Structure 1
């Protein structure tokens, strides 16, 4: 038996049939529960109950409202998507199972700018889903709750990303081609870093310490590294493999002109 909304005193609050009919008419026009409740001065829980009862009477199955660009054809922020795609391919994942659907991006807890940027990118691509932060030791998980992230990231699948092919669809590649720096910035902010290396040189017979900045991107997936280096090539950035223990997982950008371009468009995580 379905429960009915009650007041704080435990007694069911009564409303006239005309108010209920008015509320139902407004909701059938697509007006959110919150607006209907405010307009008619009725508790939001009561309005929600009326909506569910109206759906049941009409035999209508409940569908979670969505602003998914893929499903609705809605325009969305392509630059924000390119950045979010980079974050997802690096340190992101999607949970998609019955009654549990969300996109997660893991950030260093000290890098508050990155946490804010991840949250803003999610909201710009799909404003309707709720976005929350979950704090764990040393990191913050930024989560956006909707099953439709699988529509926007068709690379989602069972197992780890490096254990399955990662290939962009044509519409994704068009966005990356139009916003390559945002894509690179997302990849660096997830699986990359800017560090200062040093070496020594003989200057006038005297050995002196020489420091230089370098960008690293590290990812186990061959496909994701290829997406990164292909985009660097498009931007005219010189890069090299930095093999460690026989594994070519690290991509280095160390040439002065290339580092300057990376500094101008990416910069260190903060």
Structure 2
């Protein structure tokens, strides 16, 4: 594919999904996970009237730049290495090991141990720890794990490495991101309108705040850093945060808890 995997591409995909649906979408609750978190913030910035509420689960978007180590810098910046070498190294880098045992998804002790090993390691783009790799995608198919799916994609999907590489280079992952500053202004305007009982004048973004769900032991999205940074950018009234046991795999391994947290936010606002 000759298009960069940047916000323009992802926004177009969201709008195409809405346009192709038989449901006449006008507004909706938007939930973004990991990379989708940063993408959802950017989408909400430009289409706030369409977003009733915004929930981010272990979101990228304002990851502190010091997590980009020298290996990542060499791989993801244009011109340092020839592209065919970059693709070969990235393929090797993102492919999970073959010796992950299925069925151990979501164990907090394992995730905590991995967090100590991986945070901060300066190269967190390639792996979310063993708890992430071992997370099963379905209780009906316990042998199918995140790592087995990624391995299959790396080995058999010709465009996977290209898409991954382009997303790392072009998508909104690392701070600073002006989308978050623009979102803070939107949320503040919404709160002022609600305080003045002018609710209908600014559709969407109920209560003037967003919802963030984090994993306590997430080695990719560091809980304490993200809490500090989002409150600094959005303000204490602009964000409601819930922390759940687990790592970056929480929407997979703790799906009911995450869903209940999101539904609770919807009912409160």
TM (norm. structure 1) is 0.30
Q: Rg: which structure is higher?
A: 1
Structure of greater relative contact order (alpha carbons < 8 Å, 6+ residues apart): 2
Question: When you count helix as a share of all residues, which structure comes out higher?
Answer: 2
TM (norm. structure 2) is 0.30
